[in-house]
Amino acid sequence: MLNIGIIDADLIGAKKHRFPNLASMKISAYNKNLGNNVKLITSYDEDFNQYDDIYLSKVFTATEVPQSIIDLPNIHCGGTGFFYDKAPPLKDEIEHCFPDYHLYDDWISTLVERERERERERERKVSLSQFKWYTDYSIGFTTRGCFRKCPFCVNQKYDHVFKHSSLCEFYDSSRKKICLLDDNILGFKDWKAVFDELNSTGKKFQYRQGMDERLLTKEKCQVLFSSNYDGDYTFAFDNIADYDLIHRKLEMIREYSQKQCRFYVLVAFDRDGKYDDEFWKNDIFDCMKRCELLLKYKCIPYVMRFEKFKESPYVSLYNTIASWSNQPSLVKKCSLVDFGVLSEKCGNHARARSVKEFYEKFPAFEKYAYMKYGDIALF
């Protein structure tokens, strides 16, 4: 029997991401099935000599791992956080293992107990919702791959969408909900069979990575919006060049559903790689033009800042726009200018300043600065 250590580096990293690492759960299950001892390592201060093998996985490139850990003789590192689109896949027998949904149990118990002690003094209840992805969801991929090859995306390896696993490979009927990590489910030729299978469970489900709105058809809308969907429908509007297409699809969506939809809005990514003054100005305008279209259809934008935004002369405005748009309760109530005024009352003057400076320099921006969810007339 071997002693196996598992490190979910994104959990330990500075940002402390709170989403289970699927590869780690599969490696854990595989090793437990072999009769090995498996432990989730939650700190880099352990005695690593006690393990025969350690599997370290990370999804995010920004998550830092000490070099001394990477250099351990018994460590195996994997995941997009290390190798981006060249990340080697898990061995087939691991990839298709039923995930170990109990890998994180001890870590959750420890955190809950620690918080309970703190909250007892304040006579408050500990919120367990922060652990919902670990406790409430079956997680997996029904399909993999995407044909679009967007230059900012990690999915570059395949040129089509293909079946990855049947639901029974990761569906735990004792869990309340299902979370799918597929890259582009609407690009899969047998998408309907997947939705039928998901709906047959009677459980709520969601596609966490966002869906490709450009591929919506009337039939897809009909199935998607009558499904037992969990939370907001999430799509992406990454490129202003898709404006007319997205506009047509928004009209189609609203023929079928008035439910809340969210759209990722990528900003600060220059497809020409110039990142000059003209780009930064146009990018702010493009972002707000996309937000305007979404708000018109009562959809919520989620502005995703490509890391280059930190080099923009408008970095403060990017931050202001993201702080406004990425909180549905705010973006539904106030314009960007209102948000600046609210922030000033709380002592943050930078937000209002960033908006004002930009529209004083580019007066055409004023209409975006004052636009408001629900107040914008449809075309």
CB 246 within 8 A of CB 237: yes
CA separation for the pair 196, 169 (Å, rounded): 16
Cβ 269 to ligand SF4 shortest distance, Å:
11
Min. distance of Cβ 332 from ligand SF4 in angstroms?
Answer: 26
125 near ligand SF4, judged by CB under 6 A: no
Interface with ligand SF4 (CB under 6 A), residue from 32, 96, 132, 148 = 148
- Asked if 142 touches ligand SF4 (CB under 6 A), the answer is no
CB of 184 to ligand SF4, least distance (A): 5
Q: Which two tokens stand for residue 365?
A: 């921006």
CA-wise closest residue to 161 among 198, 188, 128: 188
Residue from 155, 234, 312, 325 in contact with ligand SF4 (CB under 6 A) = 155
Backbone angles phi, psi at 268, to 5 degrees: 65, 25
Binding status of residue 304 toward ligand SF4 by CB under 6 A: no
Which residue is associated with the tokens 């030729």? 189
User: In this chain, which stretch among 14-22, 148-156, 170-178, 320-328 interacts with ligand SF4, using CB under 6 A?
Assistant: 148-156
Planar angle of CA 267, 268, 270, nearest 5 degrees: 115
Long-range own/partner contacts, residues 110-118 (CB < 8 A, 24 or more apart): none
With CB under 6 A as the contact rule, the residue among 149, 176, 189, 248 that binds ligand SF4 is: 149
Interface with ligand SF4 includes 153 (CB under 6 A)?
Answer: yes
Residue 146 engages ligand SF4 in binding (rule: CB under 6 A): yes
Binding residues for ligand SF4, rule CB under 6 A, total 9
Segment interacting with ligand SF4 (CB under 6 A) among 146-154, 191-199, 331-339, 343-351: 146-154
Q: Which ranges constitute the DSSP H helices of 127-276?
A: 132-135, 191-200, 218-225, 243-256
- Residue of 53, 63, 205 whose CA lies nearest to 141: 205
Q: Which residue has the tokens 């990839």?
A: 95
d(CA 48, CA 237): 45
Per-residue x/- marks for ligand SF4, 180-219, CB under 6 A? ---xx---------------------------x-------
Q: How far is the CB of 101 from ligand SF4 (least distance, A)?
A: 26
Q: Partners of 39 in the beta sheet?
A: 5
Contact residues for ligand SF4, defined by CB under 6 A = 146, 148-150, 153, 155, 183-184, 212
